[in-house]
Amino acid sequence: MSKGALSEQVCREIDHWVAKFPKGRQRSAVISALQAVQHENQGFLTQDLMDAVAEHLDLPPIQVYEVATFYSMFETDPVGRHCISVCTNISCMLCGSTEIVAYLEKKLDVKLGESTEDGKFYLKQEEECLAACCGAPMMMVNHDYHENLTPQKIDEILEELD
């Protein structure tokens, strides 16, 4: 894949991160690079994009695939435009996240980890505590936190999105 797959903007952002690490340690910038690339590509990565990152950072492609598949914040398959992550870790679970997930699954007619057919929503499987236990149950929608969820509140939040 040619470098061409990365926009100039993204390349600049990657180089900004590379500059923060000692010379020859550009591998450390893989996470930030992938974040920038994923952000620009509607929330998911493709093999071409990962290869382009590898080439830009002069790394064997597998080292980029490793990072992309390890972190749950990276998607290596196409997903819906709006990413909904419901926290299911201990505090949220005790405060009813199971019902929240069930409600969302029913409302969107998808299972956890799937996207709606129209490509609008992606109901992400979250792995870890999202660090807002005091407002449990909570979810993150496109990086915004929403706490003390109820079905009604969820309806309102989703309504707002286009």
Q: Footprint of other proteins on this chain (CB under 8 A)? A: 47, 60-63, 65-66, 69-72
Residue recorded with tokens 């992550």 = 85
Closer residue to other proteins, CB minimum distance, 7 or 47: 47
| Contact partner, 101, from ligand FES, other proteins, none, Cβ < 5-8 Å per class | none
SS3 call for 31 = helix
What are the beta bridge partners of residue 141?
Answer: 84, 144
Strand order in the sheet with 144-146: 121-124, 82-86, 139-141, 144-146
Query: Which C-beta is closer to ligand FES: that of 37 or that of 87?
Result: 87
Q: Which residues contact 124 (CB under 8 A, 6 or more apart)?
A: 72, 79, 83, 84, 85, 112, 113
Q: Among ligand FES, other proteins, none, what does residue 92 contact (CB within 5–8 Å per kind)?
A: ligand FES
CB of 149 to ligand FES, least distance (A): 11
Rounded to a whole number of angstroms, the minimum distance from the CB of residue 133 to ligand FES is 4
Residue 102 touches which member of other proteins, ligand FES, none, C-beta under 5-8 Å by kind: none
